[in-house]
């Protein structure tokens, strides 16, 4: 069946007749939506919208993450042939998922960007769908959290990162990917007591009540123990998961703006994400994929796999909990 379909399927990002099902289009051809989902602005009956945020004007070092969503979509064409490995369910068959495209914004009016992104996400949530967002630098999570907190109240957050992004910044008009979580806590979007940061390996003076699991602890305690700790922290609360690709060691994800040695191996991240099945995931993102610094494309591959695991976690939360 797959071979026969591969002979005839092309540009299924536009031509597929259903929001459900695997895809057998040649990985090297056609329009590159995420996982070959249909591009659509119609959210009627949609369970989950994949959306891109090509924004990198908040970075402290190397730019380039504006190209992240495009790169992640391109490499994801290798994934939709089969059900996700290791999962007993298949979200591509069981959920209506669309690629909602990217947020529109004026690159020359940076100050207007946060409100534009919040409105973009809020519109999707109002339609009854959840979001998995492809970044973009990590500042984008703050406007997204504003939309989610407006619907769910203060959120639990599982935050994979090399950095806490909790550096002090009381100027709420500043747009900075290193201070967004500080602002999320200070403005009541996130409940730090029932949130956790995983993979941290840079210094922060005050974690504002966040539970922190360093990269070294992941290496020494193992993924299973770390996940058990994380699940105990977030409990059954509505949880948003944000994954900065620099949580991975630069050996596994060189294409990022602020790489830090000593990070997670890709297999550790995969094990952690898989074992988080059961959390009440309401949305998530993968950010800081910067293709210009990775000619091999392996960073985008990692980002695409993270995004697929987030889809699986979202599906699991609605069918198996």
Q: Got the DSSP string for 199-241?
A: EE-S--S--TT-EEEEHHHHHHH-HHHHHHHHHHHHTTS-EEE
For residue 193, count other CB atoms closer than 10 A to its CB: 12
**What does the pLDDT read at residue 2?**
64
Measured distance CA(248)–CA(236) in Å, rounded = 27
Annotated binding site: 138, 161, 163, 165, 244, 246
Q: How far apart are CA 151 and CA 65, in angstroms?
A: 28
Residue 109 inside a domain? The answer is: yes
What 3-state class would DSSP assign to 197?
A: strand
pTM score > 0.95 for this model?
yes
Residue indicated by tokens 């209506």: 96
Given this model, what pLDDT does residue 3 score? 57
Per-10-residue mean pLDDT of the chain, 321 residues long, equals: 72 95 95 98 98 97 97 97 94 98 97 98 98 98 98 98 96 95 98 98 97 98 98 98 98 98 98 98 98 98 98 96 70
Whether residue 285 contacts residue 61, with contact meaning beta carbons closer than 8 Å, is answered with no
Q: Read off the DSSP letter of residue 244.
A: E
Query: Number of helices (H) and strands (E), helices first, in the chain?
Result: 11, 9
CATH number for the domain spanning 122: value is 3.40.800.10
* Position 158 in a domain: no
Cβ contacts of 120 within 8 Å, gap of 6 or more: 51, 103, 104
Residue 89: DSSP 8-state = S
Q: Is residue 229 in some structural domain? A: no
For residue 83, the model assigns a pLDDT of 95
298, part of any domain: yes
What's the total number of domains in the chain?
A: 1
User: Measuring CA to CA, which residue among 157, 308, 125 is closest to residue 238?
Assistant: 157
Domain presence at residue 224: no
Residue 187 lies in a domain: no
Domain hosting residue 19, numbered range? 2-152+241-319
Whether residue 15 lies inside any domain: the answer is: yes
Q: Is residue 209 part of a domain?
A: no
Which residue ranges are tagged as binding site for Mn(2+)?
Answer: 138, 161, 163, 165, 244, 246
């Amino acid at each position: 069946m797959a071979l026969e379909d591969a002979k005839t399927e092309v540009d299924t990002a536009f031509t597929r007749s259903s929001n459900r099902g695997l895809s057998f289009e040649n990985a090297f051809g056609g329009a590159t939506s995420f996982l070959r989902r249909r591009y659509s602005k119609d959210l009627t009956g949609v369970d989950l919208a994949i959306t891109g945020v090509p924004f990198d004007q908040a970075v402290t070092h190397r730019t380039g993450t504006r190209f992240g969503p495009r790169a992640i979509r391109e490499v994801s064409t290798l994934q939709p042939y089969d059900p996700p490995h290791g999962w007993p369910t298949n979200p591509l068959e069981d959920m209506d998922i669309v690629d909602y495209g990217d947020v529109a914004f004026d690159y020359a009016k940076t100050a207007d960007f946060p409100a534009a992104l919040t409105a973009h996400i809020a519109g999707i949530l109002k339609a009854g769908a959840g979001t998995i967002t492809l970044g973009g630098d990590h500042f984008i999570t703050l406007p997204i959290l504003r939309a989610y907190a407006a619907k769910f109240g203060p959120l639990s957050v599982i935050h994979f990162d090399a950095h806490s992004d909790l550096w002090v910044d009381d100027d709420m008009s500043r747009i900075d990917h290193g201070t967004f979580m500080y602002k999320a806590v200070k403005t009541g979007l996130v409940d730090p007591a029932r949130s956790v940061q995983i993979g941290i390996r840079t210094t922060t003076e005050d974690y504002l009540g966040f539970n922190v699991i360093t990269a070294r602890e992941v290496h020494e305690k193992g993924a299973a123990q770390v996940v058990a700790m994380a699940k105990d922290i977030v409990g059954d609360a509505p949880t948003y998961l944000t994954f900065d690709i620099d949580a991975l060691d630069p050996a596994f994800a060189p294409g990022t703006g602020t790489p830090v040695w000593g990070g997670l191996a890709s297999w550790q991240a995969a094990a952690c994400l898989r074992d988080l099945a059961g959390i009440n995931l309401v949305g998530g993102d993968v950010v800081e994929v910067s293709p210009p610094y990775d000619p091999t494309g392996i960073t985008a591959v990692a980002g695409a796999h993270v995004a697929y695991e987030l889809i699986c976690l979202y599906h699991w939360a609605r069918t198996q909990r």
